[in-house]
């Protein structure tokens, strides 16, 4: 039986709930900075990683994936040092991007991890997919984080638009693709979102 409390904690809710929450969350508290570091794309998330920041993260990474100029295999670094927590939509977005990178023999690295965020990723099995920094903070960018962060620029794309129901659904499907155990956690969420998307129709 699905743990209802856990389902509610991970669920991003219906599109109506998302719209209501987004009106409160579209503030300066949620933003993304980007930059190029030695041929890799760096993305720093400010504020909670959630259904508001997920579209911007996805857009800026996919835009970079669609260009040439990678120095070797494509690498995307997501910096969470200013991100206090993540919801399941955001983590599903990370999973989807990591899967896209793996198709190009690339990787998605995560730095600036708090214990809470590390546990959240591990609970959903994403530690097997993402390249997480060491528990002591060790990574390929040791000793240069301050310099790197000071050179990042504000992302001016889709930075403050909440994810649509279809995007939330896709993010949760990615979580289930990565780890079968997530089907139990998000089965009820998937059912609600699938019905909602079907009700909207293809042209909505």
Using DSSP's 3-state secondary structure scheme, residue 70 falls into coil
Q: Give domain 4-199's CATH superfamily.
A: STAS domain (3.30.750.24)
- Mean pLDDT along residues 158-180: 87
For residue 65, pLDDT over 80 is answered with: yes
Q: What is the pLDDT of residues 71-80, one digit of tens each?
A: 678 999 999 9
Q: Is the pLDDT of residue 42 over 70?
A: yes
What's phi and psi for 111, nearest 5 deg?
A: -125, 175
The predicted pLDDT at position 137 comes to: 81
The helix (run of H) or strand (run of E) holding residue 131 is: strand 131-132
Q: Tell me, what's the pLDDT at 12?
A: 43
| 121-141 confidence digits (pLDDT tens) | 999 999 999 999 998 888 889
Could you give the residue ranges of the DSSP H alpha helices within 11-53?
15-25
Q: Which of 29-33, 65-69, 197-201 has the lowest mean pLDDT?
A: 65-69
User: Percent helix, strand and coil across the chain, each rounded to 5?
Assistant: 50, 15, 35
Average pLDDT, the chain: 84
Asked if residue 94 lies in contact with residue 124, where contact means CB atoms within 8 angstroms, the answer is no
- Domain boundaries in the chain? 4-199
Do the Cβ atoms of 45 and 81 come closer than 8 Å?
Answer: no
What confidence score (pLDDT) does residue 204 get?
52
- For residues 121 and 70, the model is more confident at 121
Burial string for 142-152 (b: 16+ CB within 10 Å, else e) reads eeeeeebbeeb
Neighbours of 84 (CB within 10 A): 11
Give the per-residue pLDDT at 27: 43
Instruction: Report whether 81 contacts 178 (CB < 8 A).
Output: no
To the nearest 10°, the Cα dihedral for 70, 153, 135, 54? -90
At residue 30, the pLDDT reads 78
pLDDT, residue 28, reads 47
Choose from 118-122, 163-167, 198-202 the range with maximum mean pLDDT: 118-122
CB proximity list for 140: less than 8 A, separation 6 or greater? 109
What pLDDT, on the 0 to 100 scale, is given for residue 3? Answer: 41
Structure tokens at 68: 């040439």
């Amino acid at each position: 039986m699905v743990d209802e409390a856990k389902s509610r904690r991970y669920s991003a809710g219906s599109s109506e709930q998302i719209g209501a929450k987004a009106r409160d969350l579209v503030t300066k508290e949620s933003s993304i900075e980007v930059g190029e570091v030695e041929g890799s794309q760096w993305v720093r998330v400010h504020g909670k990683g959630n259904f508001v920041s997920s579209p911007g993260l996805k857009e800026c990474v996919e835009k970079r994936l669609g260009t040439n100029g990678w120095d070797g295999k494509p690498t995307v670094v997501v910096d969470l040092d200013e991100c206090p927590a993540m919801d399941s939509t955001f983590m599903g977005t990370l999973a989807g991007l990591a899967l896209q990178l793996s198709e190009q023999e690339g990787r998605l690295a995560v730095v600036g991890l708090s214990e809470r965020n590390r546990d959240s990723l591990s609970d959903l099995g994403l530690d097997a997919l993402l390249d997480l920094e060491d528990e002591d903070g060790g990574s390929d960018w040791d000793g240069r984080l301050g310099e790197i962060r000071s050179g990042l620029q504000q992302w001016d794309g889709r930075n403050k638009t909440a994810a649509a129901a279809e995007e939330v659904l896709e993010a949760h499907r990615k979580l289930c693709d990565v780890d079968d155990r997530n089907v139990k956690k998000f089965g009820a969420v998937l059912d609600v979102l699938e019905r909602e998307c079907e009700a909207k129709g293809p042209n909505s």
